[in-house]
Structure 1
Amino acid sequence: MYQYQNFKISKTQLLYQLTRPLNVLRYAPDNNKVTQNGKLSLPESVLKESNMFVESINAVVHSLQYFFILPRIVLYLPIIKRYTQYIKGRDRWIRSNADYIIKSRREEISKTPIDQKLKSDILTMFLTVNTERDITERITDDLHDEPMSDKDVQRNFIELMGAGIDTSSNSLCFLVNFLENNPKAKQRMIEEIERVLGKDLNSSFVFEDLSKLEYVEAVIKECYWYRKPSFLLIKRNTPEVIEASRIRSIASLIFKKNSRPEVVGSYRWSKDTYFGLNFDGIQKQKSCWEDPEKFNPDQFMNNPDSKNKVYMFGGGLRICPGRNLAMIGLKATLVMLY
């Protein structure tokens, strides 16, 4: 295994740390034990609640297409109202777990001596920003000089877990799948890693090293192009490019709604018409890609034509704010895995 700065972790531990959802954060890393057969040994309650988290996120995400597209009057039908109550229950479960984690971390911070360094993680940063225990660089301005409330922390934390952790961990799973089914691409990636970082698996690497891994980045882009990430999104009256899902096939169709009458495809469409953007079809267009059904990272190597053909993280004002961190994380993960 390689070491990223002062962070060192085995492959099995890495996968566990990256893919564990909200509730697993309650448990200490000591629970992360590997048995003789190479499988993780975790409490049954952890696995059960982990599945509950995944199912709840999926339920809430899938419900978006109904609540955005269906006419409002339809939402009052008995069968739809029952579904609405089910979704609200899932949402309450997610938020209650987030509140539990936030409360536990606040207590942990309050019990930590003032002269002892706090954990350097995103939740601690949320809870300590603009306080005497601030672990950030205290970058403030006239609008952002107050600590975050628990409600602010909860909303940001849930968004981070749903839009950041889940997408990155799913991306990792598909990356591993594609690499194992494309041994030539896998071998070439390993050769680049060894050329840049050396063959000593105990060596460390920094951000500058990751920026040199061009083929690793090409593999990531190819995976995102070949299989779509997030979920079905609906944006209203927005001219910006929407973040397209690249991993899960459910995101192959994205909707936009016009704010005024438009002429599209020689037809005039009235205001508030929904348009479906078929990203799955666009990404398989032979006029844009050579042999689009083939997994081929080379199409992103020194190819300026591919720059604006794949929107991994969206574009415009609503481009993913965590895009650079996501790319760094995926690169670092592939380096430590292979």
Structure 2
Amino acid sequence: MADLKNYMIGILFSLLLTSIFLLRTLLSRRAHRLPPSPLRLPIIGHLHLLGPILHQTFHKLSSTYGPLIHIYVGSVPCVVASSVEIAKEFLKTHELSFSSRPVSAAVHYLSFGSADFFFSSYGPYWKFMKKVSMSELLGGRTLEQLQHVRREEIHQFLRTLLIKSNEGKEGVNVHAELIRLTNNLITRMTMNRRCSELDNDAVEIRELIEEIVELTGKFNLSDFIWLCKNFDLQGIRKRFEVARVKYDSMIEKIIKEHEEDKKSMRGDGYLGREAKDVLHKLLDISDDNDAPIKLTREHIKAFILDLLVAGTHTSAITVEWALAQLINNQDVLEKAREEIDKIVGKRRLVEESDIPNLPYLQAIVKETLRLHPAGPVIIRESAEDCTIGGYHIPAKTRLFVNVWAIGRDPQHWENPFEFNPDRFIDNGLSKLDVRGQHFHFLPFGSGRRGCTGTTLALQVVQTTLAMLIQCFDFKIGDDTNAKVDMKEGEGVTLPRAHPLNFTPIPRLDLLPILN
């Protein structure tokens, strides 16, 4: 009888332990509930659902599964945020948890490993480089000192269009000319080189930028599928190893020339030039023994590469989208012209200093950035477990914030698919900030890891667009009512599917103004 009693007590005790275990498991699962997710396949995860234009795919998935979804890109866990409220939780409420960026194999190798600023983890080096970027490298004083470079390059761009117009050239590839402009502008500001010059170094710089932009934005199976980690199935690794050797050789030569130049410098200037370029300033910081972080040669090379890759295509593509929208919306174009003619006139060209007095032009740029953000998806990675929207987000989860979708959200934008710059004039949105303070408008990201070059980008985009509006009419083919195709292409910087082509027709007597 005693044995039976002990047996029954043992069974009851086992049932109690089992119940406690099951209850804890159930509560744990509820507490660690992941966001909604589509059907996942072995090995490839949700790769079968992802199309070539990522932000469009994310938008379609979110329309079905909600503003916060959980997916696996191969074996990499990811979450996609597609609403203002969820984006704000990630980028503001839990900003410190998502202050790092994931690093692909191409980025790691091309940017000299941990030497890169743009992709470095949130820590002492990143904080130091952010500070010197905002105060020294891309701050107001440096941009003002190098204003003549931007003016000269934009004027040269206008001369090129004028020459093609006078030669009777029809269907000028404006995309190619804008890329050439921004390449020249950024390389001159960073290291006093022009990409369009017909010497070997300049050609090499231009080709390298094109190659590296493609490689850093290309989907690499080895980054996402663990079975492929040690294989170069797409040949991408071989390409970025070749690009790394070429870039290292080229930039090393330019750095040595700058080091020789430093010997002849006086104050903020040096022989034959008006102001130090960014590379010279980096070398100054590197020589500062009192700096809290010692910049190495690899740090300098990686930072210059960041500027070349991030600063060339994004600005050119934004101007291209704006021009396409203006051609398709002639009333907006005429209104912008009237403003420029009234404020600036027709006897001189628009200057950067005129932009604050051109609110409608600024509204056009904002509306372009809303519909066509150069960075359509913000990418981060979680450093620790956290809870977002009631869902558990584990550490090391990759975050995609769909800026493109948020900018077209009908809950926050009236007639969201319509190109209407007046919304930034008449509806109380004139003071809407582009720097990430308003989470329904994030063209340059938000918070600590927002775009460091926002001021430079706005200067280039707004001034270039203003001069084009002021100086030229735009003819599309032989049909005066022709519309520009607005399809998007593949790429991380939201390129157009078809490069913009038009015939520039001068509306001013440009030669006396440009000479």
- Above 0.5 in TM-score? yes
Deviations 1:68-120 (A, max 9, x none): xx25554124637x533333333333343333333344445557899735343
Which amino acid is the alignment partner of residue 465 of structure 2? L
Q: After the TM superposition, which of the residue ranges 302-311 and 175-184 deviates more from structure 2?
A: 302-311
Q: Matches of 2:309 and 2:196 in 1, distance apart?
A: 24
SS at match of 1:292: coil
Contact 1:189/1:216 (8 A) holds in 2: yes
Instruction: Report the alpha carbon displacement of residue 292 of structure 1 after superposing the two structures with TM.
Output: 1.5
Structure 2 CA distance for partners of 1:17 and 1:120, relative to 1, 3 Å:
farther
Q: Matches of 2:458 and 2:404 in 1, distance apart?
A: 22
Q: Matches of 1:117 and 1:52 in 2, distance apart?
A: 27
2:369 to 217, 224, 232: 224
Query: Aligned residue for 2:416?
Result: 292
Instruction: Report the alpha carbon displacement of residue 49 of structure 1 after superposing the two structures with TM.
Output: 6.2
Matches within 5 A, 1:1-338: 7-8=151-152, 9-10=155-156, 11-13=158-160, 15=178, 16-20=180-184, 50-63=206-219, 67=223, 70=224, 72=226, 74-77=228-231, 79=233, 82-107=235-260, 110=263, 116=271, 118-120=273-275, 122-126=277-281, 129=284, 142-143=290-291, 149-201=296-348, 205=351, 207=353, 209-230=354-375, 233-237=378-382, 259-260=384-385, 262=387, 264=389, 268=392, 270-304=394-428, 307=433, 308=438, 309-337=440-468, 338=470
Deviations 1:256-288 (A, max 9, x none): xxx215364x65555544454333322222222
Q: After the TM superposition, which of the residue ranges 293-302 and 52-61 deviates more from structure 2?
A: 52-61
Instruction: Report the alpha carbon displacement of residue 160 of structure 1 after superposing the two structures with TM.
Output: 1.0
Q: Matches of 2:455 and 2:270 in 1, distance apart?
A: 33
Which amino acid is the alignment partner of residue 447 of structure 2? G
Structure 2 CA distance for partners of 1:216 and 1:141, relative to 1, 3 Å:
farther
Which amino acid is the alignment partner of residue 76 of structure 1? N
Q: Matches of 1:91 and 1:56 in 2, distance apart?
A: 9
Contact 1:193/1:335 (8 A) holds in 2: yes
Matched residue count: 292
SS at match of 1:301: helix
Task: Work out the percentage of aligned pairs sharing the same amino acid.
Answer: 19
Structure 1 unpaired stretches of 5+: 33-41, 133-139, 239-258
- More relative contact order in 1 or in 2 (CA 8 Å, sep 6+)? 2
Structure-1-length-normalised TM-score:
0.68
Structure-2-length-normalised TM-score:
0.47
SS at match of 2:254: helix
